[in-house]
């Protein structure tokens, strides 16, 4: 039990540090959309109605508890019903409720109006990441948690946006009605961003709708809010709102990237083209270990010239380049190189230095292989 004083010191220091941070947020964010502000106002209205009723009821109660005690010599009264009072306190709450229901209904109807969107985005929940697809734009990507494992395991200090940061945020333009079509690929998730007052369940097999129109550029953060398994707490939502011009630039860039890659992937490659590209890519990515002539540096780095992998079944060859070989220096290139480069390198390796297998691996084959193992 030696650790106790240290633990308590730690807690004390931590509390002080907390006080410095002074992050004692007690209320909902008013958010950055018309809807979120309406919801906020509704929330505050109902909160204050509850406070007033609470003060009245508890006031009477505490007054009674102070004044009507036996120790004050109070003799108990005997009344035990009063029809008029009982009717009153049934009717008055009913009227208050109707008063609450009116603005609530109005807001709800507004929220449900998903018509006339200017941009449609499909949001798909996966265990445990989000996928965004800009409909009709050929732009889509996964959005993964970007917080390093070391921070979660307390081996590194936690950043400001701990657990609320992703590798690729959802980017949308300011002042634009964006409609989200929300679904899931495995279990139920829920896509939620408090600043937008959007929260909608992502249900496998079904598509849900929601929308937003954000007034100011900025970065808004949320999280998955439906228990979806082990890493439910580790799949944040980050929305980056750009000006319309910046968004157009961003979208054009993403489209160009996607298009360029798609073109290369879907293009009908000839053996010569693949060999030429493959030789170049091989020299930058592979030659450091396997050497320019494919002879390698055994035993650490095996030769590719005449190797059973380079002249064996194609699938195994693709597999080792994409996934690497655990326990050795062979890295997984699946995420590091494009499908085009991987295909070119493999084709080159199978047909250079006397490895005359004669077959050709196209970018499509690599893509198919990758998709098959997802």
Partner 1 sequence: MSTNIVQVRRMAESISTARLVRYLLLLVVLMFGFGFALVPLYEVMCQAFGINGKTAGAYGGAQVVDEARSVRVQFLSTNAAGMVWRFEPMSDEMEVHPGASMEMLFIAHNPTDQPMSAQAVPSVAPARAAAYFHKTECFCFTQQVLQPGETIEMPVRFIVDRDLPKDVHHLTLAYTLFDITARTPPAELAGR
Partner 2 sequence: MSAVIDSHAATGHDHHHGPAKGLSRWLLTTNHKDIGSMYLWFSFAMFLLGGSMAMVIRAELFQPGLQIVQPEFFNQMTTMHGLIMVFGAVMPAFVGLANWMIPLMIGAPDMALPRMNNFSFWLLPAAFGLLVSTLFMEGGGPNFGWTFYAPLSTTYAPESVTFFILAVHLMGISSIMGAINVVATILNLRAPGMTLMKMPLFVWTWLITGFLLIAVMPVLAGVVTMMLMDIHFGTSFFSAAGGGDPVLFQHVFWFFGHPEVYIMILPAFGAVSAIIPAFSRKPLFGYTSMVYATAAIAFLSFIVWAHHMFTVGIPLTGELFFMYATMLIAVPTGVKVFNWVSTMWQGSMTFEAPMLFSVAFVILFTIGGFSGLMLAIAPADFQYHDTYFVVAHFHYVLVPGAIFGIFASAYYWLPKWTGHMYDETLAKLHFWMSFVGMNLAFFPMHFVGLAGMPRRIPDYNMMFANFNMVSSIGAFMFGVTQLLFLFIVIKCILGGRPASAKPWDGAEGLEWSVPSPAPYHTFSTPPDMTDEHEHRAGPSHG
Shortest distance, CB of residue 370 to partner 1, whole angstroms? 10
Residue 114 binds which one of partner 2, partner 1, none, with CB within 5 to 8 A depending on kind? partner 1
Q: Are 145 and 164 in contact (CB under 8 A)?
A: no
Contacted entry of partner 1, partner 2, none for residue 233, CB cut-off 5 to 8 Å set by kind:
partner 2
Among the listed ranges 102-110, 117-125, 257-265, 357-365, the one in contact with partner 2 (CB under 8 A) is 102-110
Q: How far is the CB of 6 from partner 1 (least distance, A)?
A: 45
Binding mask 309-348 for partner 2 (x = CB under 8 A): ----------------------------------------
**Cβ(130)–Cβ(184) below 8 Å:** no
Assign 185 to helix, strand or coil. coil
The single residue among 2, 25, 356, 371 that binds partner 2, judged by CB under 8 A, is: 25
The least CB distance from residue 205 to partner 2, in Å, is 3
Residue 23 interacts with, from partner 1, partner 2, none (CB under 5-8 Å by kind): partner 2
- DSSP 8-state assignment for residue 359: -
Kind of pairing between the strands at 119-126 and 178-184: parallel
- Find which of partner 1, partner 2, none residue 64 binds, CB within 5 to 8 Å per kind: partner 2
At 182, list the tokens.
């929300």
Q: Which is nearer to partner 2, 26 or 300 (CB)?
A: 26
Bond preceding residue 105 cis, omega within 30 of 0? no
Residues 61-100 that bind partner 2 (CB under 8 A): 61, 64-65, 68-71, 74-81, 85-86, 89-90, 93-94, 97, 100
Q: Name the pairing type of β-strands 178-184 and 139-143.
A: unpaired
The 189-193 sheet, strands edge to edge: 170-173, 236-242, 218-224, 189-193, 198-202
Give the nearest distance from C-beta 145 to partner 2 in angstroms: 11
Q: At its nearest, how many Å lie between partner 2 and the CB of residue 29? A: 7
Q: Among residues 122, 151, 265, 355, which is the contact residue for partner 2, using CB under 8 A?
A: 151
Q: Which is nearer to partner 2, 127 or 265 (CB)?
A: 127
Report how far apart, in Å, the C-alpha atoms of 220 and of each of 32, 217, 278 are.
9, 9, 43
Q: How far is the CB of 335 from partner 2 (least distance, A)?
A: 24
- In terms of CB distance, is 2 or 71 closer to partner 2? 71
For 203-328, strand residue ranges (E) read: 208-212, 218-224, 236-242
| Residue 170: CB atoms within 10 Å | 22
Closest CA relative to residue 37, chosen from 112, 128, 140, 110: 110
**197 sits in which H/E element:** none
Of 172, 197, 251, 321, the one binding partner 2 (CB under 8 A) is 197
| Residue 148 interaction partner, one of partner 2, partner 1, none, beta carbon < 5-8 Å per kind | none
Residues in 224-283 at the binding interface with partner 2, rule: CB under 8 A: 224-234
Binding site for partner 1 (CB under 8 A): 114-117, 120, 122, 124, 126-127, 135-136, 181, 183, 185-186, 203-209, 368, 371-372, 374
Q: Please give the Cα distance from 1 to 3 (Å, whole number).
A: 5
| Residue 221 near residue 164, CB atoms below 8 Å | yes
Binder of residue 28, out of partner 2, partner 1, none (CB less than 5 to 8 A by kind): partner 2
- 220-223-227 Cα angle (round to 5): 165
User: In angstroms, what is the minimal distance from the CB of 243 to partner 1?
Assistant: 26
φ, ψ for residue 184 (rounded to 5)? -140, 160
Residue among 284, 286, 277, 272 nearest 339 (CA) = 277
Q: Which phi-psi region, left, alpha or beta, contains residue 136 (left: φ > 0; alpha: ψ -120 to 50)?
A: left
Q: Which positions from 107 through 146 interact with partner 2, judged by CB under 8 A?
A: 107-109, 111-112, 127
> Residue 79 binds which entry of partner 2, partner 1, none, with Cβ cut-offs from 5 to 8 Å by kind?
partner 2
């Amino acid at each position: 039990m030696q650790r106790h004083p240290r633990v308590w010191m730690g807690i004390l220091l931590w509390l002080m540090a907390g006080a410095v941070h002074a992050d004692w947020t007690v209320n909902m964010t008013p958010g950055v959309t018309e809807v979120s502000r309406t919801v906020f106002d509704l929330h505050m209205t109902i909160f204050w109605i509850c406070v007033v009723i609470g003060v009245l009821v508890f006031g009477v109660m505490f007054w009674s508890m102070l004044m009507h005690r036996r120790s004050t010599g109070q003799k108990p009264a005997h009344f035990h019903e009063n029809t008029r009072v009982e009717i009153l306190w049934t009717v008055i709450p009913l009227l208050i409720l109707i008063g609450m229901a009116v603005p609530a209904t109005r807001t709800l109807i507004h929220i449900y109006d998903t018509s006339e969107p200017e941009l449609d985005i499909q949001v798909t929940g996966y265990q445990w990441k989000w996928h965004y697809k800009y409909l009709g734009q050929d732009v889509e990507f996964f959005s993964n948690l970007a917080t390093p494992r070391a921070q979660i395991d307390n081996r590194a200090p936690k950043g400001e946006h701990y657990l609320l940061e992703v590798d690729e945020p959802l980017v949308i333009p300011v002042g634009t009605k964006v409609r989200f079509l929300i679904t899931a690929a495995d279990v139920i998730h829920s896509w939620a961003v408090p600043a937008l007052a959007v929260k909608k369940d992502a249900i496998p097999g079904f598509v849900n709708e929601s929308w937003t129109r954000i007034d100011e550029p900025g970065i808004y953060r949320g999280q998955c809010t439906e228990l979806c398994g082990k890493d439910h707490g580790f799949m944040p939502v980050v929305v980056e709102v750009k000006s319309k011009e910046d968004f157009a630039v961003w979208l054009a860039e993403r489209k160009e990237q996607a298009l360029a890659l798609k073109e290369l992937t879907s293009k009908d490659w000839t053996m010569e083209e693949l060999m030429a590209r493959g030789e170049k890519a091989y020299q930058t990515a592979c030659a450091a270990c396997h050497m320019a002539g494919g002879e390698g540096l055994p035993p650490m780095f095996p030769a590719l010239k005449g190797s059973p992998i380079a002249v064996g079944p194609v699938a195994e060859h693709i597999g080792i380049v994409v996934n690497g070989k655990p326990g050795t220096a062979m890295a997984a290139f699946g995420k590091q190189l494009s499908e085009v480069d991987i295909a070119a390198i493999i084709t080159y390796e199978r047909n250079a230095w006397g490895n005359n297998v004669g077959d050709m691996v196209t970018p499509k084959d690599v893509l198919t292989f990758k998709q098959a193992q997802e």
